Structure 1
Amino acid sequence: MLTFEEKKEIIRRFPELTEKPISMNRLNYHFEGSRYEKKIVVEKLHPNGNGFVYVGDLLAYDADDRGLVNIRDFDETQLVEVIEDAIMYLSEVDEPKEEVVIEESWKNHKNDQLLLVHEEPFWNVYHAFNLEESFGTKEDAEQYLREEGFKKEK
């Protein structure tokens, strides 16, 4: 097990972390570059060697319900790796995925209009703003529309 001083030396290798003393001679290390409200990477590092690193919901770690993993028995390699992962985790931004909507207009002989819209993972048929039917594939949706007497507008 690494000592308190050894853990501090390792953590200080990360210039993006700021050391902040807290009660009972413990230390927190903040990551001001966090893209989230959460800023503390290393939490409550104690002179007895106990402490926690925030890993959120990263599957590689057995974190508690607050997203913290205990680093008491970590060796140097494990400590460096968990801190790197934590910083990466707090640096990532969940970019909204661009929604691809395919919209087709279908009309019947009375000039009634239905819209075929792709809303992952479904193909939905709308009459105005009302959902009429929903299908797992475009082919099924198109078959339904044809059976109901509709043709795709060009």
Structure 2
Amino acid sequence: MLTFEEKQEIIEEFPELVKKEVSMKRLNYHYEESLYDKTVVVQHLHPNGNAFVYVADVEGYEADDRGLVNVREYSADEFRAVIRAAIEGLATEVEEPATIAETWQNSNGQMLTLLEEDGFFNIYHEVNLEEGFGDYQEAASYLKEEGFSVKTK
């Protein structure tokens, strides 16, 4: 296990991190250029050598429900790698997947709109919600059974 001083030396290899003292002689290190509200990379570096690194949405790390991983037992190389990954995670904009918005029409010319909203697939007649489904396939199957097909432009 790396000591407090060894971990502090490694963290300070990253000039983009800013040290901030917190209670009980612990230190936080912030990445102030973060694209997100979250700026803390290293949280609560304690004199006993314990610390946490923010790795939410960083592939290869199992974070707790706060997005943190405990780095108490990390080697120097592992510690550098997790800090680098955390900074990259805060510096990279996550592209939101495209949401679905489709118009479906039946043979009588009636139109319904299928929208993906908050993980659900909702079918609207004008502004009125007709049905909601948990996945796209369910919604599309329902529309097809009702005689609708995707309207092409």
Same fold (TM over 0.5): yes
Name 1:136's counterpart in structure 2.
138
Considering only aligned residues, what root-mean-square deviation do their CA atoms show, in Å? Answer: 3.4
CA shift for structure 1 position 21: 2.6
TM-score after normalising by structure 2: 0.69
CA distance in 1, matches of 2:131, 2:25: 64
Q: How far has the Cα of 1:41 moved from its partner?
A: 0.9
Farther off after superposition, 126-135 or 44-53: 126-135
Which residue in 1 is equivalent to 2:47? 47
Q: Find the counterpart in structure 1 of residue 29 from structure 2.
A: 29
Q: Hey, what does 1:149 align to over in structure 2?
A: none
- Indicate the structure (1 or 2) with the bigger Cα radius of gyration: 1
Residue 117 of structure 1 deviates from its aligned partner by: 3.2
Please show how residues 112-127 of structure 1 align to structure 2 within 5 Å: 113-120=109-116, 124=123, 126-127=124-125
Structure 1: stretches of 5+ with no match in the other structure: 147-151
Q: CA deviation at 1:5?
A: 2.0
Q: What is the identity percentage for the equivalent residue pairs of Structure 1 and Structure 2?
A: 47
Distance of 2:126 and 2:23 partners within structure 1: 62
Counterpart contact for 2:19–2:28, Cα < 8 Å: yes
Which residue is 2:12 aligned to?
Answer: 12
Closer, same or farther: CA 98–57 of 1 in aligned 2, 3 Å: closer
Q: Is the 8 A contact 1:107 1:153 kept in 2?
A: no
Please list the CA deviations of residues 15-48 of structure 1 after superposition, one character each: whole Å capped at 9, or x if unmatched. 2111223344332111101222221111121232
Change (3 A) 1:29 1:153: closer
Partner of 1:47, secondary structure, is coil
- The answer for the alignment partner of 1:67 in structure 2 is 67
In the alignment, structure 1 residue 103 sits paired with structure 2 residue 103: yes
Stretch deviating more after TM superposition (74-83 or 22-31): 22-31
Q: In 2, Cα distance between the equivalents of 1:153 and 1:60?
A: 41
CA contact (8 A) 2:113 2:125 kept: no
Aligned counterparts of 1:70 and 1:117: Cα–Cα separation in 2:
46
Q: 1:81 corresponds to which residue? A: 81
- Displacement after TM superposition at 1:59 (Å): 6.1
How many positions carry a matched residue from both structures?
Answer: 144
Maintained 8 Å contact 1:123/1:141? no
TM-score w.r.t. the length of structure 1 is: 0.69
Q: Would the aligned equivalents of 2:19 and 2:29 in 1 still touch at CA under 8 Å?
A: yes
Post-superposition offset of 1:12: 1.2
